[in-house]
């Protein structure tokens, strides 16, 4: 039988597929051994062992002293819990977001921070003819969006430095691309409690966002109001931020 090495320079896709198969097996069985993994996946014992050791080093499986096999590791558990949390927050946020969108007559979105980007978890579009449309699953660099900056401001500055690219990318002419400017803005957001996007993610688009926290104050996601710049003026943003903070509190209480 052909042996597949992890990592493989000749067929990295096959290597990744096998590693994912091992993760699924570990999740389904709770504990797996080298022989069992090799038999179930049709690979050699040496390949199964290399995959498991690689996954162990990355924290996706664990092999404690005295334990015969490998069980799901902290990284796999964390990812599962994060997925559940984001499903829960989307369900909890739906009605309060719909009410806020109706009140402001603007688009309201729910975002999660995913390393250096933010991802849309849920969106409620307003009924105006001229409105912002934000597709589900869309990602943008975190530092160019109000939602991303609201969440980055709650992260340890060293973590922000280590996660975002050294050369900050731009998506619009007004995007922040210099680290000193970003760090000053994140500090301002920490003080006032909300973030703004002044045509930083796209031309003629403004946004305001606040973080949604759990009961012990940890950020779960961010909710943001998006509107054409002509309708969401800079002087209007504090009032919009107050409405967002009230909605965030409602969502958090439903946790």
Signed CA dihedral, 240, 242, 244, 250: sign only:
negative
Q: How far apart are alpha carbons 221 and 150 in whole angstroms?
A: 9
pLDDT of residue 42: 86
User: 86-109: per-residue pLDDT in tens?
Assistant: 557 888 899 999 999 999 999 999
66 or 51, which is more confident: 51
Residue with tokens 């969401």: 232
Find, among 100, 8, 82, the residue nearest to 50 by Cα.
8
Q: In CATH, what number does 12-72 get?
A: 1.10.10.10
Q: Could you count the other beta carbons within 10 Å of the beta carbon of residue 6? A: 21
**Does the structure show a pLDDT above 90 at 145?**
yes
pLDDT of residue 87: 53
CA 131 from centre of chain: 25
What is the pLDDT of the chain when averaged over all its residues? 86
Q: How far apart are alpha carbons 38 and 25 in whole angstroms?
A: 11
Structural domain boundaries in the chain: 12-72, 80-253
Three-state SS annotation for 148-202? HHHHHCCCCHHHHHHHCCCCCCCCCCCCCCCHHHHHHHHHHHHHHCCEEEECCCC
Residue with tokens 């490998």: 70
Q: Beta 71-72 vs 107-114: how paired, if at all?
A: unpaired
User: 179-212: per-residue pLDDT in tens?
Assistant: 999 999 999 999 999 999 999 999 999 999 999 9
Confidence of residue 7 (pLDDT cuts 50, 70, 90): very low
The listed CATH number (3.40.50.300, 3.30.450.20, 3.40.50.620, 3.30.450.40) that belongs to domain 80-253? 3.30.450.40
């Amino acid at each position: 039988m052909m042996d597949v090495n992890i990592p493989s320079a000749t067929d990295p896709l096959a290597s990744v597929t096998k590693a994912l198969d091992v993760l699924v097996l570990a999740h389904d069985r709770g504990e797996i051994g080298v022989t069992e993994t090799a038999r179930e996946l049709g690979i050699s014992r040496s390949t199964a062992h290399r995959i498991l050791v690689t996954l162990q080093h990355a924290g996706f499986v664990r092999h404690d002293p005295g334990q015969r096999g490998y069980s799901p590791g902290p990284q796999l558990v964390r990812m599962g819990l994060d997925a559940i949390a984001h499903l829960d927050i989307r369900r909890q946020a739906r009605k309060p977001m719909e009410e806020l969108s109706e009140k402001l007559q603007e688009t309201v979105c729910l975002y999660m921070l995913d390393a250096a980007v933010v991802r849309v978890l849920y969106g409620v579009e307003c009924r105006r003819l001229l409105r912002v449309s934000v597709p589900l699953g869309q990602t943008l660099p975190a530092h160019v969006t109000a939602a991303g900056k609201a969440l980055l401001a709650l992260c340890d500055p060293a973590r922000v430095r280590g996660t975002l690219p050294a050369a900050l990318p731009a998506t619009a002419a007004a995007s922040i691309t210099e680290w000193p400017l970003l760090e000053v803005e994140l500090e301002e957001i920490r003080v006032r409690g909300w973030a703004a996007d002044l045509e930083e993610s796209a031309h003629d688009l403004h946004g305001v966002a606040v973080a949604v926290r759990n009961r012990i104050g940890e950020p779960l996601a961010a909710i943001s109001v998006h509107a054409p710049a002509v309708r969401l003026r800079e002087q209007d943003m504090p009032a919009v931020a107050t409405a967002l903070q009230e909605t965030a509190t409602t969502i958090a209480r439903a946790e």
